[in-house]
Amino acid sequence: MSYILRRAAGMVVSVLLVVTITFILMQLIPGDPASVLLGPNATPEQIEALKRTWGLDRPILVQFYKYFANFFRGNLGESIFFRQPVLEIIGQRAETSVFLGIMALIVVVGLGIPAGVIAAVRPNSWVDNSLLLLALAGASIPSFWLGLMLMVLFAGKLHLLPSSGYTSVIATGNIANLKNLILPAFALGFVNAALVARTARSSMLDVLRADYITTARAKGLRDSVVILKHALRNAAIPITTVVSFTFASLVSGAVVTENVFALPGVGSLIVQSVLKRDYPTIQGIMLVVAVLYVIINFITDLTYAFLDPRIRYR
């Protein structure tokens, strides 16, 4: 319990730092946001009115206090372009990005971990070399190019899967809508699976050389038991680290993939907000993504303690 409380306290401190750094970064943006948004033809009266609306005419410490207070009330401001609360807009787009991230993570784990384990079990064999070559190809192929190729093959030629768009599963109750995410999930997951495969292989190779693995085999245990029960669990911590932060990047960083497949997710919202200079929305997305990383880091720490009980006492 003390381990969980320490990690939870660290998470709270991290969130406070994230909020502070986000505020400072937005203050460092050159130029006057009100003048930029209103354009060169805006009158001084219009600029001053917008500053009063946003509270930009107040001292910096007052703005900081209001920013903190609004954050803890769940108020991330109002979008200039969409004319809606920022948190509400992100919530509307979050379903697509979360489902895409989960499906891509399934591809990452389903391809990366088995490939890394098999390569480690047969080091320097043709299987190992083939899987390493495939991992290198996966790491080198841009996700947008792979997405376009998948779109041409499975949507254009074979007509098996849709090429773009997504309709909410939660709103319609139709789980079949997830088929729209199969191609983008594979395009996003295959690229990230390469990193997981290399990490799994490296970690498994270190563990398989350990004395306790030699002892387990000397006792006559089957290779499958030695690999899955003894080796893989002890190699799981670095793999868990890579997988957890891969999931965070899949949910928050699928900007290119979402735009290639015309998905209404957070990634496409980022592009729209930047093009429209919608600073409150950009700032809100930065905060949500940063907090997401902090939460996933906290969950990862708890997973470490489950995989290796010795960590709880450190």
Least Cα distance to 133 among 194, 68, 221, 45 occurs for 194
pLDDT at residue 252 in the model: 63
Domain assignment present for residue 162? The answer is: yes
pLDDT at residue 34 in the model: 66
Least Cα distance to 71 among 7, 9, 20, 25 occurs for 20
End-to-end CA distance of the chain: 13
Residue identified by tokens 């703005």 is: 63
Q: Averaged over 28-55, what is the pLDDT?
A: 69
Tokens of 107: 């591809």
What's at 32, amino acid-wise? D
Q: Averaged over 46-58, what is the pLDDT?
A: 72
CATH number of the domain enclosing 217: 1.10.3720.10
For residue 85, list its beta bridge partners.
78
Tokens of 164: 């773009």
**Tens digit of pLDDT for each residue in 109-160?**
898 888 888 888 888 888 888 888 888 887 788 888 888 888 888 888 888 8
Main-chain phi, psi angles of 125, to 5 degrees: -90, 175
Domain assignment present for residue 128? The answer is: yes
Domain assignment present for residue 26? The answer is: no
Q: Averaged over 237-244, what is the pLDDT?
A: 83
- Which residue range is the domain that position 231 belongs to? 94-283
pLDDT-derived band at 39 (thresholds 50, 70, 90) equals low
Domain assignment present for residue 184? The answer is: yes
pLDDT at residue 38 in the model: 65
Domain assignment present for residue 297? The answer is: no
Q: At what angle do helices 182-208 and 143-150 cross, to 10 degrees?
A: 130
**CB-based burial label for 218 (10 Å; 0-12, 13-18, 19+):** exposed
Query: Distance (Å, rounded) from C-alpha 213 to C-alpha 197?
Result: 21
Domain assignment present for residue 300? The answer is: no
Q: How many domains does one find in the chain?
A: 1
**Tens digit of pLDDT for each residue in 280-294?**
788 888 888 888 888
pLDDT reading at 31 higher than 70? no
